Structure 1
Amino acid sequence: MTDWNAEVETIRRRRAERTKVGPGERPAVVVVDFQRAFTEHENIGPGTAVALEHTQRLLTAARAADVPVIYLVMVLDDLDDRMLAQRVRSSLTERCLRGDPWTEISPVVPPAPQDHVVEKTVASGFWRTRLDDLLAELGVDELVMTGTSTSGCVRATVVDAAYRSLRVSVVEECCDDFRVLSGETSLWDMQDRFGDVVSLDETLERFAARAAGPGRTVDDAAVHA
């Protein structure tokens, strides 16, 4: 019989040892589906609130460093716009009709006026959306990923970003999945095949250094923030 605790420890160790692709020069933070439908539903665990709080810290640092922030939100004009599996099975996407309060972005991570919001109808933020054009307009070469769910919409967007040879940094503490085991294995899968799984602390340090700019130190940026 498989010892799943041992399996999780193994993939965590392998994830830490896996070669990193590395960050880009022009990152953008992508916030995936942190909407009320996916952050306030009946099956969320305590990790959701923690991930939202961590993401708010990251967003504050990104904006201070002039790093673009892009929200991906699922908004449907008709439930038939969903992919077949979601039309056949019960899904939280049933709450994502345009105008439904469930589609609203969580008040813990509200968009700032300069942020970008991209609507989507499936898991990936790239499928039939304006995300490709927006990234080209912004000159982005790296996606710093946050959001929910790690094994669903985050992973789908990461895979499509990797197909475009974008650098990908998945901030572990800023991703949430109420399917705990699926989230854990997806972090390993993304690190192994598609991008890098990084920590919140190292990402905050990167953004602080970016905010400091030439001739200033990271400590200077913290004082003036």
Structure 2
Amino acid sequence: MTEQIDWNDEVARIRDLRASRARVGPGSRPAVVVVDFQKAFTEHEHIGPGTAVALAHTAELLRAARAAGVPVIYLVMILDSLDDRMLAQRVRSSLTERCERGDPWTDISPAVAPEPSDHIVEKTVASGFYNTRLHDLLQELGVDEVVMTGTSTSGCVRATVVDAAYRDYRVSIVEECCDDFRALSGEVSLWDMQDRFGDVVSKRWMLDRLASIAADREQEAVAR
């Protein structure tokens, strides 16, 4: 008889593993990437209370990033035709059905509204790097680290993290600023990303880091 897995124990185990896993470490020139915090993915019928919490945490992080002069980049799912979607999403029902250009569902959530100085990159699949200008933009900005926020943790966030790691960016995933209405998938993906691709960090740690960057920037301005 196959031994039954206690999933509560398994989640506790991977959280312990995630906390003890060796860190890659941050870069020196970060950018904050906001993945798919659009109405289609933040106001749909399956969201839980965690979505609003993640949006609020992200809004706080974005204010700190802008104050530190750290670039903010929004990834948005925009389709000129629903036929542009990958096969699985054309076959199965998917929230991407609400992502056709001009549909109000594609609007970025007002809880994390972009500022004029921010950058917006359109995409058509989960990864923000696939057939987009994201890599070129990061290179133009001199970025060596992506600070990841957004939804869903197990889908578009993870896909973008994987592709960032493949391009040798340092990756910091801010736990409180990521959302997944598939709770178990989100938890497992945080462990997977910490294990293989980057560092899962707390919002407090990242806010302190951004405050330090802002202070350094202010000192440099005074020195000039």
Deviation at 1:215, TM superposition (A): 7.7
Is the CA contact (8 Å cut-off) linking 2:26 and 2:171 kept in structure 1? yes
TM-score, normalising length: structure 1: 0.95
- Mapped partners of 1:83, 1:25: distance in 2: 35
- Cα deviation, 1:33-74, whole Å, max 9, x if unaligned, reads 000000000000000000000000000000000000000000
* 2:18 paired with 1:15: yes
Out of 173, 178, 185, which is 1:175 matched to? 178
* 2:140 paired with 1:137: yes
For structure 1, list consecutive stretches of 5 or more residues without a partner in the other structure: 217-225
Alignment of 1:38-187 (within 5 A): 38-187=41-190
TM-score, normalising length: structure 2: 0.95
Cα–Cα, structure 1 residues 214 and 120, in superposed 2: closer, same or farther, change >3 Å?
closer
- Mapped partners of 1:19, 1:114: distance in 2: 35
Counterpart for residue 219 of structure 1: none
Residue 21 of structure 2 aligns with an amino acid whose one-letter code is R
Q: Secondary structure at the match of 1:108?
A: helix
Counterpart for residue 202 of structure 1: 205
Q: Secondary structure at the match of 1:169?
A: strand
Percent identity between the aligned chains?
77
* 2:188 paired with 1:190: no
- Mapped partners of 2:66, 2:218: distance in 1: 20
CA RMSD of superposed structures (Å): 0.8
Runs of 4+ in 1 over 3 A off after TM superposition: none
- Mapped partners of 1:198, 1:173: distance in 2: 9
Q: Secondary structure at the match of 2:111?
A: coil
Count of matched residue pairs: 216
